[in-house]
Chain A
Amino acid sequence: MRTKRLTTMAILTALALALSWVERMIPLELIIPLPGVKLGLANTVTLFALYQLNLPSALLILIARCLLTALFSGNMTGLAFSLTGGILSMLVMTLARHSRHLSVYGVSVLGAAGHNCGQILIAMILMHSTYIWGYLPYLLLIGTACGVATGAVSSGVLRALGGGKHHYA
């Protein structure tokens, strides 16, 4: 692995961790009291990595971010949620990116939906309860709003920093 790519990935991982931490200061769960509701700012980093680097790099950054967040917070249940949600979200975004009809906004929204489905899936498995899916519509609606927001942020970031492709690789 080239040094430049390694450095870029390390910086992006650190940035994603910082964003997850900043996000915790925004008390979204006070307005919308559902477990697992969050803005998804760290997804900006994932989107950036997907558009500017490649899938393996984006996946590595995601896994590193999830592991480190779990390590810092000591919340191992959270790890199962963030990993399942994150990987499903990345899968959806990778597919969505190849559609010529979608911009980073659509990719972000579909990624958020994938994340929500992953969260519900793991909740159903961990709690041995199928009823949990009753939460899915609410998560999806909030996730869509947050997805548009992160899409806008990503669009701005990519516009400002994204020169030619593999510029950061």
Chain B
Amino acid sequence: MKKERSALTFRRGDAVAIAGVILFALALMGYYLFFFSAGEASVARIYQEGQVVRELRLDRDVEFVLEGDFRNVVTVQDGKIAITESDCPGADCVHSGWISRPGRSIVCLPNRVEIRLEGGELTDDDVDAVVQ
């Protein structure tokens, strides 16, 4: 009974576990930001099911629809990109808002879509290498 109770009050070990998870998260974040967001974002690559379905430059305003299990409206405006409309459940992708910095991405899990901002040039030859 006494042992059971003590398992319910906050202990020092809990603080260590919390600190551990937070440190791990910060380390991952640092690693990701350092290695994956260098340079200028010049190209937005749109992946569906892991395949590049479209590449576009952010300096040209455009709006189009991505069909899949659901329907995402993708908008490029003033060097930023967003999913502005979606009929997927939750519409987290729309809530993600506008992105413009390299390394950032917008994900629509229900539609299996990822929009990723990357550096580099717009080249079709590059596509196969990116897809692996």
In the complex, identify which listed stretch (A11-19, A57-65, A128-136) lies at the interface while the others stay far away: A128-136
Q: What's the dominant secondary structure at chain A's contact region?
A: helix
Q: Is B77 engaged at the interface, CB distance under 8 Å to the other chain?
A: no
Q: Which residues of B contact A135 (CB under 8 A)?
A: 107
Chain A contact patch, size range: 35 or more
Q: How far is the CA of A102 from the CA of B32 in the complex (A)?
A: 30
Q: Is B95 engaged at the interface, CB distance under 8 Å to the other chain?
A: yes
A131 touches B36 (CB 8 A): yes
Q: How far is the CA of A51 from the CA of B5 in the complex (A)?
A: 11
Q: Which residue of B lies closest to A112 (CB)?
A: B21
A105-B14, A132-B114, A137-B28 as given contacts; A35 in contact with B109, CB under 8 Å: yes
Where the two chains meet, the residues of B that have a C-beta atom closer than 8 Å to any C-beta of A are 1, 4-14, 16-18, 21-22, 24-26, 28-29, 32, 36, 47, 49-51, 89-90, 92-93, 95-97, 103, 105, 107-110, 112, 114, 116
A144 touches B22 (CB 8 A): yes
A103-B6, A103-B8, A158-B8 as given contacts; A109 in contact with B21, CB under 8 Å: yes
A103-B11, A106-B11 as given contacts; A29 in contact with B89, CB under 8 Å: no
Q: How far is the CA of A93 from the CA of B89 in the complex (A)?
A: 29
Q: Which residues of B contact A109 (CB under 8 A)?
A: 14, 17-18, 21
Q: Which residues of A contact B18 (CB under 8 A)?
A: 106, 109, 144, 148
B96 touches A34 (CB 8 A): yes
Q: How far is the CA of A141 from the CA of B5 in the complex (A)?
A: 28
Q: How far is the CB of B3 from chain A (nearest CB, A)?
A: 9
